[in-house]
Each structure stands twice: as C-alpha cells, then as structure tokens.
Amino acid sequence: MATVIVGTGTALPPAVVTNDQLAELMDTSDEWIRSRTGVGERRLAEPGVSTADLATEAGHAALVDAGLDPEDVDALIVATMTPDFYAPGSAPLVQDRMGLGTVRSYGIRQQCSGFVYGLDLADSLIGSDKADTVLVIGAEVHAGIQPWANQWRERRNGGSITPEERERNNKHRHWSVLFGDGAGAAVLRRGTDDGILAVELFTDGSYFGLIQVPAMGSSTQPFVDVATIAADEHMPQMNGPMLYRQAVRKMPEAVHAALKGAGLGVDDVDVVVAHQANARIVDGVRKRLGLDVDQVPMNLDRFGNTTAGTLPILFDELRRDGRVSPGTVVVFVAFGAGAHWGAAVYREPTG
C-alpha cells in the first residue's frame, strides 16, 4: 500500500508585478533579474490577503479536484515561512475556514522544503493508520516582508518613492526580487502499490545562516524592538552564492538517495518537480542529474519563488497539462533555509 495524491489545487493572487515595476523601486532591471534568476514576474497579495487565505483557497480547490468534502479530511498540514501571526501558526486558521472540524493540524517550518516534509508526514500518518485522508498545503504571502511592501501599489497608482526608500530597497535587492506569493495543495489517501515510493529528508543546522530572518525570536530580548526593525533584521538575510552552491549539490544527492530507496535509477524518472528557487539552481540540479530540459520544468518565470508553495503549484500545473499521467515517475526535490532538504519519489497510479 502506498500513499496517493488524489487531488491538487492552487491559489495565486491576481496582481502581477513585473521586473520593470520593481526597477521603478530599486536599481535593478528586467535583464539583470531574468539572466541571474529566471524570474520574469511574480504575483503579490493585496493587503488583507494572508497566507491562510491563499492556503484555504488552494485547499478547497484540491478537495474539489479530489471529489471530496471537508468532512473527509482527517489531518491538515500547513507549511509556510510567512504565517499570519508570530504565534500560533496558520494551520488552525485554515482548518477553521475550511470547516475541517477538530481534526489534528500541523504547522511546519521547513521553509522551501516544507512541502516535501509535508508529504513525508502525510505518508507516515496514513501508513500508521492515524489518518485516511490528509491535506498538505504549502502557502506564502511574502509581500509584507518586502522593504517595498506598499510601494509597488503606490507606484502603480501614480505615487513616487523617496531617495531613502530607494536606497533601502537597494540593500535588499539580491533577495527581494526572487519571491512571489501563492499556495498549492494536495490531498493524500491510501492507495494501491503506486504513489509515494520513498522519501529521504535531511537537515544540517550548521547552515542555519544561509538564509534567515534574524529578529523576532527568543534569541533576542525583547524579541523585536525599534533597533532591530531599524536595522531591517525582521527581513530575510541571504548568502546567495553559498546558498546556490549548497542547493545544486544537495538536491541531486537527495534525488539519488530517494531513488535508491525506491529501487529506481535516474533513467526511470519522467519528471523532476524541483523547488523553484531560481532558474540557475534548477538548471544546475538538472545538469548534475543528467536530465533533459523538459524533464525539469519551471514556472518561476511567471510566479517567482513561492517558497513552500513552489512544489504543489508546479505539480498541480503539470497534472492539469497532462504532463503527469498514470505511470509517470515524479521526483519532488527541495532545498531551503535551515538548512532542510529532501526528495520524494512518486509514481502516479495506473489503476
């Protein structure tokens, strides 16, 4: 018996923000962003639309796709790095809005690897008979952590930014152009022999500083104050070059480890659903695995890096396009903050 994905769904906020629009806020260009990252545009949530809102919409879509009702779900897993509140996590909000009753819910914090960790947790719950139907959602609203959080909207409405705002935006331009908002969801159930065949997960806390938000935690007292906010320590700090090097090494290693666990090899793989961090990372992973361009699809040109959302959003798109059909062998793989990384081998059931 294996765990099968029986439905998927996506929620993307309607506002499209192009690289040219970002170039009005900081010293960057469409050419720089496209050539270094592959991102062409991203979706951003309007104020008042939170991670739980997008997660709820994606969760509903996945249930409809599966032909199931909220009462059928007996565990919820919400992966995000941008929860609605510092505490508690967003899972209870999603559970309440979706009408899931009082079933167990988990908020998990493996950032870009959240969905792969979520698949593993769902597989374990189903495999141990603690749940029959698990909803796994990866969702993010990064708009609010951007230094230019409101400026793109003000600019869209004809407003201008000050030289000080532009200078601050420039300080964060290497990470802030990467991210977009969105949510993806998958419904998992006990199936036949196909489904999740193997998962390998890894953590190495010695890489904690690769990308992190330094303030707003118990490591500082008070956990947030005027000085930490003035220093922008409530925003991500990223060592881009080091992150790139680790990601292109660790993701292929995880793919090989998971394939070995499944008793398969790279030649058996049809599609790799890789974390949409940036195109150079995805392409580096593809080359190391020796796969063709069409075997490692990307949608980050349209959506940017939606952190925990990238894998389920891309998988949903591939299912709808018919790129995943009965018998297709898919490998999910991600690397992200923590550092957490891992891969899951999945075969779409034929029966």
Contacting residues toward ligand ACO, per CB under 6 A:
28, 32-33, 36-37, 112, 173-174, 177-178, 211, 238, 240-241, 243-244, 247, 277-278, 280-281, 305, 335-336
Q: Would you say 104 or 168 has its CB closer to ligand ACO?
A: 168
Q: Judged by CB, which is closer to ligand ACO: 3, or 307?
A: 307
Minimum separation from the CB atom of position 90 to ligand ACO (A):
19
Q: Which of 142, 278, 305, 340 is catalytic?
A: 305
Residue whose CB is less far from ligand ACO, 202 or 244: 244
Residue whose CB is less far from ligand ACO, 107 or 336: 336
Is-catalytic flag, 275? yes
**Closest CB 204 distance from ligand ACO, rounded Å:** 13
- For residue 150, indicate whether it is catalytic: no
**Shortest approach of ligand ACO to residue 118 CB, angstroms?**
16
The smaller minimum CB distance to ligand ACO, of residues 241 and 322, is found at: 241
Query: Considering the complex, what minimum distance in angstroms separates the CB of residue 112 from ligand ACO?
Result: 4
Q: How far is the CB of 59 from ligand ACO (least distance, A)?
A: 23
* Residue from 60, 142, 275, 340 carrying the catalytic annotation: 275
Distances in whole angstroms, Cα of residue 159 to Cα of each of 28, 148, 153, 162, 169: 19, 13, 8, 10, 16
Q: Which of 19, 112, 169, 278 is catalytic?
A: 112
> Which residues are catalytically annotated?
112, 275, 305
